[in-house]
Amino acid sequence: MYAVIKTGGKQYRVAAGEKIKVEQIAADVGQEIVIDQVLAVGNGAELKVGTPLVSGASVKATVVAHGKHDKVRIFKMRRRKHYQKRQGHRQQFTELQIASIQA
């Protein structure tokens, strides 16, 4: 059984027992959260698609850790203008362990 969930402006295909990294969620490590924005639920050949959300469906997950992704380096340059700008960014994430899917 799998589900397509929406969190942090992105969509993820998840199944029970998986670990995923999502945009940072304000929750403590070890806390159980419920994601109720479920766009689709599939079980074998059966697929239930919401309009836009599947009613009554939810995904339970446990917060495993918080962290930062690898640094993304931004370099801007204008040729012949003596302009160079360097910038870096590290996006924060929350790692979730998917516990169960209710459809």
What 3-state class would DSSP assign to 82? coil
Pairing state of beta strands 72-78 and 83-89? antiparallel
Quickly tell me which residue has 């998917």 as its tokens: 98
Taking residues 69-76, what's their average pLDDT? 98
Query: What are 53-71's pLDDT values in tens digits?
Result: 999 999 999 999 999 999 9
User: Chain-wide mean pLDDT for the chain?
Assistant: 96
Query: What are 14-30's pLDDT values in tens digits?
Result: 999 999 999 999 999 99
Q: What is the pLDDT of residue 49?
A: 95
Q: Where are the domains of the chain?
A: 2-102
The answer on pLDDT for 103 being more than 90 is no
Torsions phi, psi for 28 (to 5 deg): -80, 155
